[in-house]
Structure 1
Amino acid sequence: MTEGSVPLPYADPAFVADPFPLYRQLREDGPVRRVVIAGALDAWVVTRYEDGLAALSDSRLSSDVRDASDARLLRQLPTSGGESLMGNMLRSDPPDHTRLRRLVSKAFTAHRVAGMRPRIQAIADQLLDAVAPAGRADLVADFALPLPVTVISELLGVPLDDRHDFQRWTNRIVTRGAEPPDPAMVNEAYQHMRAYVTELVRAKRAAPGDDLLSGLIAARDEEQRLTEDELVAMVFLLLAAGHITTVNLISGGIAMLLTHPAQLELLRSDPELLPGAIEEFLRYDGPVSPGIARFAREDVEIAGVTVPRGATVLIGSAIADRDPARFPDPERLDITRQDNAHLAFGHGIHYCLGAPLARLEGQIAIAAALRRLPGLALAVAPDEIRWRPGGLRGPESLPVTFTPGG
């Protein structure tokens, strides 16, 4: 830990359950703070909304981890057999980012996503059919997780039977806690994921279908618009990013409603508030926490603070989204909030490509749960909900009870 930096205490269950008091203190202490984040990595965190908004569009801050200088971070990157998975659009800059994003952007337009509504609704209803008679469920394992996994698997043309494998490998790759992850275990997960995706590509080449993966293969084989490694990295990104944050949006949103009964009743009385409620869930306690990583290509001045070349810059979207200079009464969950331009999906050229799909899945899932599970309530005390420890925020499980039904 660098002298003068503030550790984010991921070993403290109280912080993992509610990091916002410390986030608030960081923001009040200054616009840019040196911190130690999950995995014992040093970073400079941008704490305020306007500075974060500007930083997300600053070309001097790279998405490519190869621009980082932190040896501990570099040791956590995959080695032989997995390193090519890092060459995806999330971890690239123009011109490669522009080319890669263009290849898949048509699959995630608002119009195209809206056409998926009936199928997403059917998946949600099937999952709720399975739990409704029991009167109790874990809304992560039984609902919030399998719904987006099924959606992204069908969009890509991936066998749903494989979902447990790629979920396990994804969790090992992205989960961060108080201690640095075991590099051997992380690298093994990368190797498994690469082998799995490579086999998917081989099988889809042999039997193409009307799906996104077949389209990407055609772009690779017929149009030469991406390399084989880029193809594999793109599929990895879509599989991983295509479900894990949406799981947290759905389960976290339901948890927020169940711990804020007045907001729950307001939404029950007026379901038309749901689209705005989704935006408030994203602002108030979104799936990415503390924020979005970038790496300084050169010495960069942010809010009067010079961040050195090679430093990890954490644009603290979860911190900035409670900035009282931007959001009135920011510590209050308010599903009727207007002008809710949060940073949960980022900003600029890296704005989340899957945002329309995540919003739609969140709306359908939460509406279906409230409609199909009467008397929905937590089966544990709010302080007994177990939360993911770092980087990606959401309940690890969400035990609930409700009136059994058909």
Structure 2
Amino acid sequence: MPEPVPYPFNSPTGLDLAPAYERAQCTGGLPWVRLPFGEPAWLVTRHADARFVLGDARFGRAASLERDSPRVTPQKPLGIVAMDPPGHTRLRRLVTGAFTRARVERLRSRIRSAVDHAVDDLTAAGAPSDLVEHVALPVPITVICELLGVPAGDRDRFRRWSEAVLSTSGLTPEEAAQSTGELTRYMAGLAESRRAEPGDDLISALVRAEDQGESLSPRELVELCIAILVGGYETTASEIANFAWVLLTEHPDQLDRVRAEPDHAAPLVEELLRGVPMAAAAAMPRYATEDVEVGGQLVRAGEPVLVAIGAANRDPGRYPGPARIDPARDSAGHLAFGHGIHHCLGAPLARAELQETVRVLARRLPGLRLDGPVRWKSAMFFRGPAALPVAW
């Protein structure tokens, strides 16, 4: 085996794609990389190779629980994100109904209301005011907590726990484990309360499914809810801030167009999902169950493969001029929400939140602009502004 290359490549400051990804895309085979935690892995950066690995049944996730899996966070992933069929299929089926396009469309007016309230808070604070604190963070935590059935008074705790789960080096392994334990105990208690007094929320629905004969254990229920929380909050919060920064610094004309044509928010969001590389690194290794050739590289059975989604979405072989944000391009097939059996369940919800946030900002704040230095997140899996001061 070659000597592993230190990884991740991206800088936490800004949203540029590191040149090392471009070099890997132009070089035959796959780089062999070493992350801060775990064993080395093959790294996939090209779009076609990424779709192949994500969609081929010869690559599974479950082995990551038994191995010292490559990762940027101290803790390993839990629950459905680290499962293979048939267990993965069973759990996914139980929660799929909560995120259908039809149900999300019924939630759209509530999402729009949450964004409007957030913008009210932003303007009430006076300029300059932090778009991250007043809009990017509260909108997705409000939506996902309402969906799960989390009391409003506990949402700040959820925010802290979610950030701890995704911390790369800001916490010690012991601190990360403590936060994960607190979140697990809270979710278990919430599930028990919903079993005693069901409500019109996702946790209640999952408890009822368990009680009606579905083989969902208490631990599976808790881990599934944690995956929904983390996946539904931190990713969308980061993308709202990232999209705002890209639009305000590089494409303010796009906000003008959304103001004139609200339907333009949909293709704009889709192109931003493709073109903005949010993650600090590839994650969720797939282990080959047999020898498989990927991109000219023979991956032996038992070897892990990481897929760099941000790089694959900026593969010039699939998207000419990939660094250019062009809502007129055909961005279909982008991998921002993954591909295959682990395609993000919450993709319709995330799209609705991002579209409505862009529309409300364009409508309510026609003079929106940066008004101060941007502070970037550090030691977190998802890159983006930690503070984005704006005026209007």
Equivalent residue runs for 1:124-143 within 5 Å:
124-133=115-124, 134-143=126-135
Contact 1:138 1:400 in 2 (8 A): yes
Question: Is residue 2:276 matched to residue 1:285?
Answer: yes
What's the secondary structure of 2:55's corresponding residue?
A: coil
Partner of 2:150: 158
Question: Is residue 2:235 matched to residue 1:245?
Answer: yes
Structure 2, unmatched stretches of 5+, are none
What's the secondary structure of 2:298's corresponding residue?
A: strand
Change (3 A) 1:161 1:287: farther
Change (3 A) 1:128 1:339: closer
TM-score by length of 1: 0.88
Partner of 1:300: 292
Counterpart Cα distance in 2 of 1:379 and 1:75? 33
Counterpart Cα distance in 1 of 2:29 and 2:275? 19
Question: Is residue 2:198 matched to residue 1:221?
Answer: no
Counterpart Cα distance in 1 of 2:73 and 2:116? 44
Counterpart Cα distance in 2 of 1:351 and 1:163? 26
When structure 1 is superposed on structure 2, of 148-157 and 132-141 the one drifting more is 132-141
Contact 2:288 2:304 in 1 (8 A): no
Contact 1:30 1:47 in 2 (8 A): no
1:198-227 per-position Cα deviation (integer Å, ceiling 9, x unaligned): 111122122111111111111112324311
Counterpart Cα distance in 2 of 1:389 and 1:76? 12
Letter of the 1:119 counterpart = R
Contact 1:45 1:313 in 2 (8 A): yes
Question: Is residue 2:18 matched to residue 1:20?
Answer: yes
Contact 1:295 1:310 in 2 (8 A): no
Question: Is residue 2:266 matched to residue 1:275?
Answer: yes
Question: Is residue 2:380 matched to residue 1:396?
Answer: no
What's the secondary structure of 1:35's corresponding residue?
A: strand
Partner of 1:212: 202
Contact 1:64 1:91 in 2 (8 A): yes
Question: Is residue 2:352 matched to residue 1:360?
Answer: yes
Query: Deviation of residue 39 (structure 1)?
Result: 4.6
Contact 1:100 1:226 in 2 (8 A): yes
Counterpart Cα distance in 2 of 1:75 and 1:175? 6
Counterpart Cα distance in 2 of 1:264 and 1:141? 21
1:64-107 per-position Cα deviation (integer Å, ceiling 9, x unaligned): 253663377699346xxxxxx82x22221100111101101111
Counterpart Cα distance in 2 of 1:319 and 1:31? 15
Partner of 1:81: none
What's the secondary structure of 1:115's corresponding residue?
A: helix
Partner of 2:27: 29
1:154-213 per-position Cα deviation (integer Å, ceiling 9, x unaligned): 111111211121221221111224x8x522111111111111111111221221111111
Counterpart Cα distance in 2 of 1:28 and 1:303? 11
Equivalent residue runs for 1:114-133 within 5 Å:
114-133=105-124
Contact 2:275 2:325 in 1 (8 A): yes
Counterpart Cα distance in 2 of 1:191 and 1:343? 31
Question: Is residue 2:138 matched to residue 1:146?
Answer: yes
Q: State the Cα RMSD in Å.
A: 2.6
Counterpart Cα distance in 2 of 1:74 and 1:300? 25
Contact 1:45 1:314 in 2 (8 A): yes
| Count of aligned pairs | 389
Change (3 A) 1:249 1:216: same
Letter of the 1:332 counterpart = R
1:256-293 per-position Cα deviation (integer Å, ceiling 9, x unaligned): 10111344444444332210111111111144454342
Partner of 2:362: 370
Contact 1:67 1:296 in 2 (8 A): no
Change (3 A) 1:368 1:45: same
Query: Deviation of residue 240 (structure 1)?
Result: 1.5
Contact 1:68 1:310 in 2 (8 A): no
Contact 1:296 1:307 in 2 (8 A): no
When structure 1 is superposed on structure 2, of 132-141 and 154-163 the one drifting more is 132-141
Change (3 A) 1:31 1:367: farther
Question: Is residue 2:377 matched to residue 1:379?
Answer: no
Partner of 2:46: 48
Query: Deviation of residue 109 (structure 1)?
Result: 0.6
Counterpart Cα distance in 1 of 2:330 and 2:119? 32
Query: Deviation of residue 387 (structure 1)?
Result: 3.9
Counterpart Cα distance in 1 of 2:279 and 2:7? 18
When structure 1 is superposed on structure 2, of 37-46 and 325-334 the one drifting more is 37-46
Counterpart Cα distance in 2 of 1:350 and 1:138? 34
Selected match of 2:85 from 83, 91, 94: 94
What's the secondary structure of 1:392's corresponding residue?
A: coil
When structure 1 is superposed on structure 2, of 260-269 and 228-237 the one drifting more is 260-269
Counterpart Cα distance in 1 of 2:133 and 2:33? 33
Query: Deviation of residue 329 (structure 1)?
Result: 1.1
Letter of the 1:42 counterpart = P
Change (3 A) 1:71 1:302: closer
Letter of the 1:167 counterpart = R
Counterpart Cα distance in 2 of 1:154 and 1:300? 43
What's the secondary structure of 2:384's corresponding residue?
A: coil
Equivalent residue runs for 1:162-181 within 5 Å:
162-177=154-169
Counterpart Cα distance in 2 of 1:28 and 1:141? 40
Letter of the 1:128 counterpart = V
Query: Deviation of residue 246 (structure 1)?
Result: 0.9
Percent identical pairs in the alignment equals 37
1:351-404 per-position Cα deviation (integer Å, ceiling 9, x unaligned): 1110000000000111111211231111235xx4414555323322222111xx
